[in-house]
Amino acid sequence: MSLLDYFRKSKPKSAAIAKERLQILVAHERTARNRPSYLPQLQKELLDVIRKYVNVDQDAISVNFEQDENQETLELNIVLPDYQQENKSVNM
Amino acid sequence: MSLLDYFRKSKPKSAAIAKERLQILVAHERTARNRPSYLPQLQKELLDVIRKYVNVDQDAISVNFEQDENQETLELNIVLPDYQQENKSVNM
Pick the CATH number of B19-82 from 1.10.10.10, 3.40.50.300, 3.30.870.10, 3.30.1070.10: 3.30.1070.10
CATH superfamily entry for domain A20-82: Cell division topological specificity factor MinE (3.30.1070.10)
Query: A62 falls in which pLDDT band (50, 70, 90)?
Result: very high
Rounded Cα gap, residues A10 and A24, in angstroms: 13
Domain ranges of chain B: 19-82
Task: Using an 8 Å CB-CB cutoff, list chain B residues near A65.
Answer: none
Query: A35 falls in which pLDDT band (50, 70, 90)?
Result: confident
A53 touches chain B (CB under 8 A): yes
Q: What is the pTM of this model?
A: 0.72
Q: Is A78 exposed, middle or buried (0-12, 13-18, 19+ CB in 10 A)?
A: buried
Identify the CA nearest to B82 among candidates A35, A86, A57: A35
Tell me the ipTM for this assembly: 0.70
- Asked if A8's CB is within 8 angstroms of B28's CB, the reply is no
pLDDT in tens, B37-80: 888 888 889 899 988 888 888 889 999 988 888 888 899 999 98
DSSP H helices in B1-92: 3-10, 39-53
